[in-house]
Every structure is written in C-alpha cells, then in structure tokens.
Amino acid sequence: MKELDLRLRHLKKSYTREVLKDVNLRVDNSSYVCIVGKSGSGKSTMLNILGLVEGYDAGQYYFNGTLIKNYVDYSRLRLENIGFIFQSYNLIPTLSCRENIMLPTLYNRHNKVQDFDELVQMLDLGPLLSQRVTTLSGGEKQRVAIARALILDPCLILADEPTGNLDPVNREIIFRLLKSEHKKGRGIILITHDADTAAQAETKLTLYDGALWREVSA
C-alpha cells in the first residue's frame, strides 16, 4: 500500500461567513476517522479541501509531505492517492457500470490498477457490468461508485455521507466494505450523520463551530 500522511494545521476557510475556523487533523494508513456535525457545519467543505478539489484561506495542509497551495493543479496527486465516494454517487449516466468503473484508468499513467475481476467479485457487480448505471438501484449504484473509487488503488478514501440515500441493508454492505478496505491499509475519512455508523469508527470527531472536537466519554 502507498504511504499516507495527511496533516491539517489551523486550517481556515470562509465563504460569505467563516465556515472552518481552526481545523486540525492527522490521518495515516491506519486511520478510520468518522466525522459528524450538523448540516451546514462545513463537513463537505472540509472533505473537498482534503480531496484537493477546493482551496483554503489560511493554515497548512500537507499531503504526504507536499504543502498544498491554492491554484495549483493537483489532479495527478488526487488520481494516484484518493478515492472519493459521494451520497449522490456521481456516476456518468450515459455509461455502463464497466465504463464507469474503468473511467479513472483513462487518465492513469503510473498507478497499479486493481484487478478488475477481483473488484467486481468483491462488490458483487458481475451481472450488472454491461447495464447502464441509470437502471441500477441505489445500493448497486453506490457499489459501482466504490469500485470506481478503488480501481487505482488509493491510500485514502474520502466518503461524504455515502449511505445517506440507502436502506439499512445496503448501508451495512457499504460499511462492511469500508471496514475491509481499511484493513488493507487505506486511510478512511467518513462523513455521516448516522450516529450508529459513527459509533463503529475508531476515531469519532464532531465538526462544530469551525473546529473538530474529539468525543469525550462520560
């Protein structure tokens, strides 16, 4: 597994108001971090910064020793290291399952590509491969999205409420998958507002008033 060493120090980000005021976080290959927080507290903003798709105003973000700066193209760093999973799946509707899963490999030059058949078997996608993704159920769509997130063997998985649209059975399937990917040495940062889910994670943090707070047990 590629090494992961992610550090946020005193990170700040404002839009019309201050959203992130002082975010500090360290994540490595052994981390499984679950983040909860009210709607509008800045969870997605933070995840987008971590995922190198959004800039920040002050503080520092180091990804594997690289200080992340605004207005620099980090698409290669992202492609080689980060798998993103969203609540709304973000699949390409005109493509088949197979094509959606393989999409990241079109841009790939250096990465070891995961064994496609193994991935398909693990996610139980075999019978669906030639189907258009618009014909799938929510749980099936999310499994395709996870396969796409894993195809380039990322050391970090960022998941923004990945089970928000799913029923309990499919929720459980997704959490089992995340757990088993964590065991392979992928760092995981999971945003959820499902308290049961959060309770399973090794580290549970709450984003509140622009900062991350550790749960203090009574």
Ligand X SMILES: Nc1ncnc2c1ncn2[C@@H]1O[C@H](COP(=O)(O)OP(=O)(O)O)[C@@H](O)[C@H]1O
Interacting residue ranges for ligand X, rule: CB under 6 A: 15, 19, 37, 39-45
> Minimum distance between the CB of residue 54 and ligand X, rounded to whole angstroms?
8
- Is 44 one of the binding residues for Mg ion (CB under 5 A)? yes
Contact partner at residue 40 from ligand X, Mg ion, none, CB < 5 to 8 Å by partner kind = ligand X
Nearer to Mg ion, 47 or 155 (CB): 47
On the 0-12 / 13-18 / 19+ scale of CB atoms within 10 A, 201 is buried
Give least dist CB 192 to Mg ion, A: 10
User: Is 45 or 170 the residue whose CB approaches Mg ion more closely?
Assistant: 45
Smallest distance from ligand X to CB 158, Å: 13
Given the complex with Mg ion, which of 19 and 178 has the nearer CB atom?
19
Min CB(161)–ligand X separation in Å? 8
Task: Tell which residue, 30, 27, 29, has the closest CA to residue 49.
Answer: 27
User: Binding segment for Mg ion among 43-51, 98-106, 133-141, 177-185 (CB under 5 A)?
Assistant: 43-51
Q: How far is the CB of 112 from ligand X (least distance, A)?
A: 32
| Complete edge-to-edge strand list for the sheet that includes strand 211-214 | 82-86, 156-160, 187-191, 32-36, 203-208, 211-214
Question: Which of Mg ion, ligand X, none does 41 bind, CB closer than 5 to 8 A by kind?
Answer: ligand X
Q: Which residues bind Mg ion (CB under 5 A)?
A: 43-44
